[in-house]
Chain A
Amino acid sequence: MEITLWHLLDALLAILLLGLAWSALSGSDLRRGVVLFMAFGLLLSLVWARLRAPDLALAEAAIGAGLSGALLLLALRDSEKPGNRTVQTPPLLQLATLLLMLLLAASFALAYVTAVTGNNGDRLAGLAFGNLEQSGVSNPVTAVLLNFRAYDTLLELAVLLAATLGILALGAERRPFRKPGLLLGGLVTWITTLLVMVAGYLLWAGAHAPGGAFQAGALLAAAIVMLRLGGMTSEGLPVSRLLRWLLAAGIAAFMLTGYLATFLDLAFLQYPEGRAGLLILLIESAAMLSIAFSLGLAYLGGSPSGWEKSSSKGSPS
C-alpha cells in the first residue's frame, strides 16, 4: 500500500472530523456545541467531495451547513433549565453501557470489513451500472433513487411526511421576526431569487449530473426560511389546503405512477419502456415540492398561523 499526499489529506480530514465531534459534544456551553456542529456539517460536505460523492456534497452543503445550522441556532433561544433532569447513573448501569458499546463497536467493525472485502466483483453496483441505460436517466444515483430502489424513496417521503405531521401537531409556530432593515431586505430578495433559480437548475441537472429532488428541495426550503427570517409572515408558505396538497405531492405522484403501472400489466412502480425519463422528472418535481415545504414547515417549529382556521373549514361543526 503506497502512502501518498492524498492519504495525508484523508487523515487530516478524519482527525478534524473526530476533533470537532468530540469538542461539540463535550463541555456544557450549548452555543459552542451548536457552532462546532455547524463546522462539522461543513467539513462533512468536504469529505463527501473527497470521497467522490458530489450528490451528497450538494445535499450536505444545503442541509448540514445551512438548514440544520439555522434550525439549531434558533433552538438556542429556547432556554433550557439545567439540573432539572439530572441523570444519576449507577455504576452497574455504567458498566453495562460500556459493554454494550464494545459489543456495538465489534459488530460495526465486523459489518464494515465484510462489506468492504466480501464478494469481490459480485456487487449491486455492477447491476446498477449495467441497467443504467434503461433507467431513463444517466446519473447513477438518481437512477437508484427514482428507479431501481424507488420503494425506498417512496417510504422516505412517508417518513418525512410523518415527521411534518408531528411538528404540525405540536402547536403554533414561533413568533414572527422583526421587519428587516434595508440591507437584509435586499439580501432576502436576491438570495431567495438565486436559491429558487439554483434549485430549478439542480432539479433539471439531476437526470444527467449530480443534483435532483433532494438537493433542489433543500434549496427551496432555504428560500422559505430566508423569507421568514426577513420578517415575512405569510410569503413562501401557502396556508390553507394548498399546503396540504403540496406536503403530500411527492407520495401522491409516486403512488399514482405506481398504480398506473399496474393497469398497464406492469409491476407496481415499474415504468413503461421509453417513458421512464419523463415519469422520473414528474415524480422528482412533486417530491421536490414536498421536501421543500416539509423542511420549511420544520423550520417554523409548529403549525403556521391560520392553519387552525383553514383546518376547521372542512370539518362539520
Chain B
Amino acid sequence: MTETLLLTATLLLFMTLVTGLIRALIGPSLQDRMLSIQLLGTGGVALLILLGLLLDIEALVDTALVLALLAAVAAAALTRRETPRD
C-alpha cells in the first residue's frame, strides 16, 4: 500500500520535472535554461530520496547530498567572469 503510494508520488514528481525541463528547451536566455537545471537538481534530490525509500538503498541519500552540493558549483561556473585581458 505505502509502496504503491510512494511509487505513484515518484511518477507524478517525475512528470512535474519533465514539465520544468521545457524551459531548458525553449530558453530564451542561458540563465533561463540554467534555472531549469537548478529545478532538475532540487527535483533530482527529491527523486533520489524517494527511490532510496522504495528500493531500500540508504546510500541514495548520500547521492542526494552530493547532488545538492554540486548544483551550486555549476551555477558558479556559469556566472563567474574572468579577469580582463591586460
Are B62 and A202 interface neighbours, CB within 8 A? Answer: yes
Contact with B along A1-25 (1 / 0, CB 8 A): 0000110110011001000100100
A231 — which chain B residues lie within 8 A by C-beta?
Answer: 80
Looking at chain B's contact residues, is the secondary structure mostly helix, strand, loop, or mixed? helix
User: Does A70 interact with chain B (Cβ within 8 Å)?
Assistant: yes
Partner-contacting stretch, out of A43-51, A243-251, A255-263, A305-313:
A43-51
**B46 CB to closest chain A CB, in angstroms?**
11
A219 to B57, CA, bound (A): 21
Question: Is A237 positioned at the interface, with any CB of B under 8 Å from its CB?
Answer: no
How far, in Å, is B74 (CB) from chain A's closest CB?
4
Q: Mark B1-26, 1 if CB is under 8 A from A, else 0.
A: 00010011011001100100100110
A160 within 8 A of B: no
Q: How many residues of A contact B (CB 8 A)?
A: 61
A49 and B63 contacting across the interface, CB-CB below 8 Å: yes
Instruction: Choose one: B8, B18, B71; the contact of A65 (CB below 8 Å).
Output: B71
CA distance A32 to B48 in the complex (A): 26
Shortest CB–CB separation between residue B85 and chain A, in angstroms?
Answer: 7
Chain B residue with minimal CB distance to A177? Answer: B80
A73→B78 contact, CB < 8 A: yes
Interface size class for chain B?
35 or more
A267 to B65, CA, bound (A): 40
- A241 interface residue (CB < 8 Å to B): no
Q: Which residue of B lies closest to A219 (CB)?
A: B66
Contacts of A46 in B (CB 8 A): 44, 47-48, 51
CB of A187 closer than 8 Å to a CB of B:
yes
Output the nearest chain A residue to B72 by Cβ-Cβ distance. A191
CB pair B34–A35 under 8 Å, yes or no, is yes
Taking CB atoms, residues of chain B closer than 8 Å to A222 are 69-70, 73
By the criterion CB–CB under 8 Å, are B82 and A177 in contact? yes
Shortest beta-carbon distance from A269 to chain B in Å: 27
Cα of A184 to Cα of B4 in the assembled complex, Å: 43
Q: In the complex where A9-B14, A42-B41 touch, is A209 in contact with B59 (Cβ < 8 A)?
A: yes
Among B44, B77, B85: residue with most chain A CB under 10 A: B77
Chain A nearest CB, measured from B72 CB (Å):
6
A225: nearest residue on chain B (CB-CB)? B73
What are the 6 tightest A-B residue pairs by CB atom distance, in nearest-first order? Answer: A66-B70, A70-B77, A210-B59, A35-B33, A54-B59, A69-B74
